[in-house]
Structure 1
Amino acid sequence: MRTPAGAECPFFYGNYYRGRNQEECRLISPAAPPNNWAPTLCRTCPVPRITQANACEHMVLRAWVERQWLGLRKRVRVSAFCQKVHQEVAHPEVGCGECHPIPFSISEHG
């Protein structure tokens, strides 16, 4: 579904049927304020970019809201885990490197 920021995200849910205005992120678990999810976080959320770049069925994303800069700003933090090799994924956009190996490296050929 399309987020308020305009990106496609499989975890965003919006119910606008008959005048309703219910929006939620199904990846971020409900939390008490001040670490709660808000639609404005979709502007800087990395999840749509990660899911567009890497569609590995073995990768599991976990997200939470983090406060920074004296508690005035909130942002979404994401971690990824590969269930196939049972390890944390350092770069979720790329993947773990085991499930979908990259055939060659640019630095090797040039």
Structure 2
Amino acid sequence: MRTPAGIECPYFYGNYFRGKSQEECRLLSGANPPLRWTADLCRTCPVPGIQRANACQHMSLRPQITSILGFRRRVQVTAYCRKTSQVVQEPHVGCGACHQLPFDLKEPQS
């Protein structure tokens, strides 16, 4: 569903049926403890970009909300691979073990 920032996100939910105006982030509400979502968090959230770049079924995202000098709240995400049981350093790319390329990307030798 499209977020208030205009980006497609699989975790955003909006119910506008018959005049309702219910919006929530299911990634933040599913965190333990649940995190409070506001529409301004969608503007800088990294999750839609991660989902577009890497749709690995074994990667789970753990959100946290940080604030800069107590004013700007932002979502930060830690990725974890359930298949290899390790923290993913670069969520946009993945852990490197789940989706290996069938060929080698090294420089051709002359």
Q: Place the TM-score, normalised by the shorter chain, in its bin.
A: 0.7 to 0.9
Alignment of 1:56-95 (within 5 A): 56-68=56-68, 70-95=69-94
The reply to whether residue 109 of structure 1 matches residue 110 of structure 2 is no
For structure 2, the residue ranges without an aligned partner over 5 or more in a row are none
Shift in CA distance, 21/58, structure 1 to aligned 2, threshold 3 Å:
same
The reply to whether residue 26 of structure 1 matches residue 13 of structure 2 is no
**TM-score normalised according to structure 2 size:** 0.87
For structure 1, the residue ranges without an aligned partner over 5 or more in a row are none
Counterpart in 1 of 2:3?
A: 3
Alpha-carbon shift at residue 104 of structure 1 (Å) = 3.4
The alignment yields a C-alpha RMSD, in angstroms, of: 1.3
**TM-score normalised according to structure 1 size:** 0.87
Q: How many residues of Structure 1 are paired with residues of Structure 2 in the alignment?
A: 103
| Distance (Å, rounded) in 2 between the aligned partners of 1:25 and 1:41 | 10
Query: 4+ residue runs of structure 1 moved beyond 3 angstroms?
Result: 102-105
| Distance (Å, rounded) in 2 between the aligned partners of 1:13 and 1:92 | 23
1:39-84, Cα deviation, whole Å (9 max, x unpaired): 111111000000011011000011121111x201110000100000
